[in-house]
Homo-oligomer: A and B are copies of this chain.
């Protein structure tokens, strides 16, 4: 499991942060966050291309790739205030879904075992299974809750004759016990999948899924506050899964299964910020950025900013916990926040 990456472009790191090598424990000892690419799109049911997601998300920025990004909103520089390393990509192969999932789970587990937060760049959503399982292996099966932004529930059973694919990871995680069904918080669902049978199964697992109708009717912030309460109930940590298709296709065209009527980019960024600022996040993934369908890097930029927003909120959470002035979103930028 040496550093990998050259198949889908040059071997770069997220905005220029330092490299580490998962085969060399010392190289990431003490890291706060380890970024990992999972360029796998063999589980996509429709438009492929998320294999280029890790490369695109790492690069999509007009600022220098210098390992520093001071957040205007949060007044921290996550890439500096936290020790953020990039372990490169896991070697995966679209044609071998099971082997790829094993490799990803092992890589994530190593990161979690080191005490760092694994931050996985997908790839299609199939990887949620190894990602969250790898985290759960360290934090305990059933001890982490899942905050899941997505247009789709991803709770399919067997698709194309297989147990694994980008529409099924959440079911597999519940079945294995890695994450309790009643600690699944899904935000942004909409559209025409799944059907009643699967919804019944989900209800039977006591999942809590906020379809867009409810989000619009009650307000996103209200829904999030309620969800956070559930997420913290008898769990030690939170896994955050962000499928970029939770946003409206106008804000995220570069994805495999776009569903009109989603969140704005602004809403997603604010929701990710709240999640990582208010909850003890122990793992994150950003998935389904599919560059072949992107335009002018809109979606890649959004993916990059979701990563930065999550990291910045984690950094601010730590800073506030260390005794600073608690962050106040209504204060003017130049008053110091």
Contacts and interface: CB of A to CB of B under 8 A. Distances in A.
A145 interface: no
A49 interface: yes
Given A214-B333, A216-B266, A332-B210, A47 B62 contact: yes
Interface stretch (A88-96, A109-117, A169-177): A88-96
A207 interface: yes
Given A269-B260, A330-B218, A10 B295 contact: no
A94 B260 contact: no
Interface stretch (A24-32, A133-141, A194-202, A318-326): A194-202
| Among A13, A51, A253, residue most surrounded by chain B Cβ atoms (within 10 Å) | A253
A199 B334 contact: yes
B296 A258 contact: yes
Given A16-B10, A189-B72, A253-B296, A62 B91 contact: no
Given A65-B6, A73-B212, A270-B216, A265 B249 contact: yes
Contacts of A70: 192-196
A42 B45 contact: no
Contact of A258 (B46, B256, B293, B297): B297
Contact of A302 (B165, B260, B296, B333): B260
A164 interface: yes
A295 B253 contact: yes
Contacts of A23: none
Interface in A284-311: 292-298, 301-302, 305, 308
A45 B61 CA distance: 11
A248 interface: yes
A332 B210 CA distance: 6
Interface in A47-78: 47-49, 51-52, 58-59, 61-66, 68-73, 75, 77
B10 A58 contact: yes
A37 B290 CA distance: 24
A84 interface: no
Nearest to A41: B48
A209 B65 CA distance: 26
A295 B216 CA distance: 27
A220 to B, nearest CB: 11
25 contacts: A6-B65, A10-B12, A10-B16, A43-B94, A61-B192, A63-B193, A70-B192, A70-B193, A72-B192, A73-B212, A73-B213, A96-B162, A191-B305, A199-B334, A203-B334, A211-B332, A213-B270, A216-B270, A248-B250, A249-B251, A249-B302, A250-B298, A251-B260, A261-B305, A292-B292
